[in-house]
Amino acid sequence: MQLKDFAKTGRKVSVLGVGTYYDPAWIATGFLGWKRGAREKVEAIRAGLDAGITLVDTAEIYQSEPLVAKAIAEKNRDEIFLATKVWSNHLHRDELVSAFGRSLARLGTKYVDLYQVHFPNPRVPIQETMSAMEKLVEDGKLRHIGVSNFSLEQIKDAQAALRKTELSAVQLDYSLLHRAVENDVLPYCDSEKIALLAYYPLGHGKLPSDSRLDQAAGNGRTRAQVALQWLAGKPNVFPIPRASRAEHVWENAGAGTWELSEGQREDLDSKYR
């Protein structure tokens, strides 16, 4: 598995990660205590770690933090880059600190590598949220700060609100099928060296059945691997495909062990313009 610099953190992280958002039904039934398919999901996350993936993405809302805790329990915690998120109703200082404490407990860990604001909330000043995040960093419980589903302007506001540290990551929808970030956020991330975590990297499951990927896949690669390598091969982009089935995760991890040629990239860029 290839590794690359994660923003300016000084950490090298696998070029792709595993995502642990499943579906709204899982979240709804999770609140009721039902965890159908939990064992397979834990195995899928573990498969990613066994394949050399070190980046794991979860969120307080996903109902998957306890699964991540199980999957990482017997691994070397320091080798894992653990990312979670705070929901937009917990962005005032005290709420954020409490939500973070609950995530730590569910994750069974003493620290989180990346804490991300899941969605912006215009009713809470970003200065208050970012100052609460920086307090967690000061206390040694949090390593790095990120935001998700923020516009470029909101990203800049979040960055400007940080006094003692820098914004390390932005998480947005990015795949061959959805390239809007290339217009503004991606060039900004590249110039500021901010990591871009690409969610829906398989087009929410559509790309593995898209025949436009066949030429680049050739004989040795699969469509999913081509779609993920197209993202993972970019300097600051880390795709986080969903891990709910181990065989898919093994296949997807194969996207981090080879590189598309420049010609293949150009061909894909033009096919998906």
Min CB(254)–ligand NAP separation in Å: 9
From 4, 9, 19, 253, residue interacting with ligand NAP (rule: CB under 6 A): 19
**Of 71 and 135, CB closest to ligand NAP:** 71
Residues 253 and 251: their CA atoms lie apart, in Å, by: 5
Taking CB under 6 A as the rule, does residue 252 contact ligand NAP?
A: yes
Which residues are CB-contacts of 50 (< 8 A; sequence separation ≥ 6)?
Answer: none
Min CB(137)–ligand NAP separation in Å: 21
Angle, CA of 238, 47 and 27, to the nearest 5°: 75
Taking CB under 6 A as the rule, does residue 103 contact ligand NAP?
A: no
Residues 236 and 168: their CA atoms lie apart, in Å, by: 11
Grouping H, G, I as helix, E, B as strand and the rest as coil, residue 17 is strand
Taking CB under 6 A as the rule, does residue 244 contact ligand NAP?
A: yes
**Of 55 and 130, CB closest to ligand NAP:** 55
Q: Using the rule CB under 6 A, give the single segment among 17-25, 33-41, 229-237, 260-268 that binds ligand NAP.
A: 17-25
Min CB(170)–ligand NAP separation in Å: 10
Min CB(7)–ligand NAP separation in Å: 17
Nearest to 87 by CA among 63, 51, 53, 56: 63
**Of 120 and 233, CB closest to ligand NAP:** 120
Site residues for ligand NAP, 57-76, by CB under 6 A, read: 57
Q: Which residue of the set 62, 115, 199, 272 is catalytic?
A: 62
User: What is the per-residue burial (b if ≥16 Cβ within 10 Å, else e) of 160-194?
Assistant: ebbeeeebbbbbbbbbbbbeebeeebbebbeebeb
Site string for ligand NAP, 198-237 (x = CB under 6 A): -xxxxxxx--x---------------x-------------
Given a contact cutoff of 8 angstroms between Cβ atoms, the answer to whether 254 and 225 are in contact is: yes
Q: Is 25 exposed, middle or buried (0-12, 13-18, 19+ CB in 10 A)?
A: exposed
Taking CB under 6 A as the rule, does residue 120 contact ligand NAP?
A: no
Grouping H, G, I as helix, E, B as strand and the rest as coil, residue 73 is coil
Assess whether 62 carries a catalytic annotation: yes
From 251, 255, 256, 264, residue interacting with ligand NAP (rule: CB under 6 A): 251
Residues 105 and 107: their CA atoms lie apart, in Å, by: 5
Angle, CA of 116, 121 and 126, to the nearest 5°: 70
Taking CB under 6 A as the rule, does residue 30 contact ligand NAP?
A: no
Taking CB under 6 A as the rule, does residue 242 contact ligand NAP?
A: yes
Grouping H, G, I as helix, E, B as strand and the rest as coil, residue 144 is strand
Q: Using the rule CB under 6 A, give the single segment among 88-96, 123-131, 159-167, 243-251 that binds ligand NAP.
A: 243-251
Given a contact cutoff of 8 angstroms between Cβ atoms, the answer to whether 66 and 106 are in contact is: yes
Residues with catalytic roles? 62
- Give me the residues that bind ligand NAP (CB under 6 A), please: 19-21, 57, 148-149, 171, 199-205, 208, 224, 240-242, 244-245, 248, 251-252
